[in-house]
Chain A
Amino acid sequence: RKEVEQDPGPFNVPEGATVAFNCTYSNSASQSFFWYRQDCRKEPKLLMSVYSSGNEDGRFTAQLNRASQYISLLIRDSKLSDSATYLCVVNPGGSYIPTFGRGTSLIVHP
């Protein structure tokens, strides 16, 4: 089983839709969790950290479920500019070296 697994998609949604991505991780000792966004031919950029209590940043909501070992990202009212690849990142703790998922591709169309 891969350490961090994501559905690669692509998720093809209309503007204004709500879309959710899940990511599962295998290391139960993982301590830090992130969602990164990567635009085509660009470097990954931090979108948001994922906290145990869940957190929201505008149209984006991230949740962590430690018991089931998954994190999620919810995007409300999708914009065309949300089209990108979303990378799930898990830090195993005791180490600064995170593990990246393969990424989920989102395409928002008019």
Chain B
Amino acid sequence: SAVISQKPSRDICQRGTSLTIQCQVDSQVTMMFWYRQQPGQSLTLIATANQGSEATYESGFVIDKFPISRPNLTFSTLTVSNMSPEDSSIYLCSVAVAGANNEQFFGPGTRLTVL
């Protein structure tokens, strides 16, 4: 398994500002992901954070809006840029542990409210 921490756990931000969310894992993992979960919805994958190279973004998400860093195998950041109220959501960091089933583990999430 993997233990994942995220900072901040929650924040309230003004429109037009940016917030950087940190994700720390207690062990080295290859696969690291960022998800968004809006109220009453399931998880939507934003991007795969790749160590040493640019993140791989899913359809509808772009680097300018959600820049991601992955400096090593235990840490990643997601920035939500130029925020609007529509960005209010829970942002979750996740890792996949390689093995027979590639199980995924999630961080506790960052609850973002944009005013």
Contacts and interface: CB of A to CB of B under 8 A. Distances in A.
Interface residues of B, number: 21
Contacts of A100: 42-43
Interface stretch (A59-67, A76-84, A91-99): A91-99
Interface core residue of B48, B92, B106, B108 (most chain A CB under 10 Å): B106
Nearest to B35: A100
B109 A32 contact: no
A107 B102 CA distance: 29
A10 to B, nearest CB: 12
A46 B92 CA distance: 15
Contacts of A71: none
Given A42-B108, A43-B92, A96-B31, A101 B101 contact: no
B45 A44 contact: no
Nearest to A51: B101
Contacts of A103: 42
B106 A102 contact: no
A87 B103 contact: no
A101 B37 CA distance: 12
Given A87-B42, A100-B42, A102-B42, A44 B101 contact: no
Nearest to B6: A43
Contacts of A34: 101, 103-104
Interface of A: 32, 34, 41-46, 49, 87, 89, 91, 96-98, 100-103
21 contacts: A32-B102, A34-B101, A34-B104, A41-B111, A42-B108, A43-B106, A43-B107, A43-B108, A45-B106, A46-B105, A49-B103, A87-B42, A87-B43, A91-B102, A96-B30, A97-B33, A98-B96, A98-B102, A100-B42, A100-B43, A101-B42
Given A97-B31, A102-B41, 6 more contacts: A87-B42, A91-B102, A96-B30, A96-B102, A97-B33, A97-B45
